[in-house]
Amino acid sequence: MSGGFLFYLIKVKKQPFFLIATKDRGWLRPKPLHTYHLIVFTYMFFEGLHLIFLVNELYPNLIAAEVGNIMADSISAASAAFYPVSIVYSTPNIQLDKQHENSYFRNFNYVGPNARLVDIVGIILFFVPLFTLLPFASLAGYYAEMNDVKMENVFYTAHYFAWVAWEIIYITVLTFYWYRLTFIIKDHIKVLLLEKDNSNQVKKFKRGTRNLTIPVLAIVFGLLLQAIIYVVMSLTHRSNTVYYFGWNLFYYWIGYVTFPLLGFGIECSVGFSSPSSSQGQLNTITTVNMESQKDSKTLCCLPIKNFGITTNKPTITVIHCSSETITIVENNNEQSNTLN
């Protein structure tokens, strides 16, 4: 299903996987909704492949079996590294005229990410699970082949502790960037509500925020549950987790029933409710009438970037309005228009 949604978004709705390149975005520019579908696809694909190999006894040795067992977690974790990056590059750049610095609009103080730093964080989050989980799993399988139970349990425990450490770091980064984005979007909705004719825009932002929040909550609570389970597994002797029927049944239901059903439910929720490409254009100019000086009419316009469900319009970064002229800065090109 996740692969089908990716195909539908990219080929049918003509929404590319990557955000539009701008000076505020680095090399890694995936969209949040597309990235979530990619995470679910990679996890389900490698987990299904692992089950096929287990049922048909296709693994040649224990090393391959251990690597296959952790492959779904490793690849999906690497894919998940793009999700906080996509949230960062989807966060609007807010810049306002200085005359509003004493109003409630002073809350809009986010002026863009350090693109190079964001890319570095994304690359680190991508490679850490691959360079820690897979080697630890391979060594655990190697010592199991050598019948060295003590060393096998050492690397088995190290493998799960490394995974839990990565989950904690990832949850912290993801939650921080998600909170910052939703805070800005909610404040922008308040601005839109000042105008009578912005109901459609408000609906678009609320829908987009919902489609972003649901996957984030699913990822956070899923990783927290998985972290608790892996801590118990790492501190429990291997024979208990492998041969004790109660533990096996519990891990089976969590790993092969609960997580797939959770992913399926979220896929249905965000996949069938995502707006069409014609409804998803959020790169627009929103004008808010402000009461200012008696002899002038002041307008305050807030720029909005794409946050996962929009596509092709350029971003207008700053708009300054006076009683006579409107100055628009669009992709670093200024143009002036006279007010009628």
The pLDDT tens digits for 215-234 are 888 888 888 988 888 888 77
Alpha helices in the chain (DSSP H): 2-7, 32-55, 62-80, 82-90, 115-145, 149-192, 199-235, 238-243, 245-253, 259-271
pLDDT of residue 78: 92
Among 262, 200, 314, which residue's Cα sits nearest to residue 2? 262
Contacts of 115 (CB under 8 A, 6+ apart): 23, 24, 25, 26, 89
Does the pLDDT value for residue 55 go beyond 80?
yes
Distance CA 301, CA 308 (A): 22
245 class by beta-carbon count within 10 Å (0-12 exposed, 13-18 middle, 19+ buried): exposed
Strands 325-330 and 333-338: antiparallel
pLDDT confidence band for 319 (50 / 70 / 90): very low
Residues in the chain: 340
Q: pLDDT tens, 160-181?
A: 899 899 999 999 988 888 888 7
| For residues 134-144, average pLDDT | 93
Q: Considering the domain boundaries, does residue 255 fall inside one?
A: yes
Q: Considering the domain boundaries, does residue 322 fall inside one?
A: no
Better pLDDT: 315 or 213: 213
Q: Considering the domain boundaries, does residue 314 fall inside one?
A: no
Q: Considering the domain boundaries, does residue 206 fall inside one?
A: yes
pLDDT confidence band for 44 (50 / 70 / 90): confident
pLDDT of residue 322: 34
pLDDT of residue 238: 58
Q: Which of the residue ranges 54-58, 233-237, 265-269, 293-297 would you say has the lowest mean pLDDT?
A: 293-297
pLDDT of residue 63: 93
Q: Considering the domain boundaries, does residue 302 fall inside one?
A: no
Tokens of 91: 């966060």
Q: Considering the domain boundaries, does residue 33 fall inside one?
A: yes
Most confident listed range (155-169, 242-256, 319-333): 155-169
Q: How far apart are the first and last CA of the chain?
A: 52
Among 141, 142, 136, 144, which residue's Cα sits nearest to residue 161? 136
Better pLDDT: 302 or 172: 172
Q: Which of the residue ranges 47-51, 67-71, 286-290 would you say has the lowest mean pLDDT?
A: 286-290
Better pLDDT: 2 or 219: 219
Q: Is the Cβ–Cβ distance between 151 and 142 less than 8 Å?
A: no
Q: Which domain holds residue 53?
A: 2-96+111-275
Number of separate domains in the chain: 1
Q: Considering the domain boundaries, does residue 297 fall inside one?
A: no
Q: Considering the domain boundaries, does residue 306 fall inside one?
A: no
Does the pLDDT value for residue 306 go beyond 60?
no
Among 90, 87, 86, 80, which residue's Cα sits nearest to residue 40? 80
Better pLDDT: 289 or 274: 274
Among 238, 241, 220, 236, which residue's Cα sits nearest to residue 175? 220
Distance CA 73, CA 232 (A): 17
Strands 316-321 and 325-330: antiparallel
Distance CA 72, CA 163 (A): 12
Q: pLDDT tens, 85-133?
A: 888 887 665 444 444 443 444 444 445 567 888 888 889 989 999 999 9
CA 316 to chain centre: 24
In the chain, what's the furthest Cα-to-Cα distance? Answer: 87
Among 305, 339, 302, which residue's Cα sits nearest to residue 322? 339
Q: pLDDT tens, 8-25?
A: 888 888 888 888 887 778
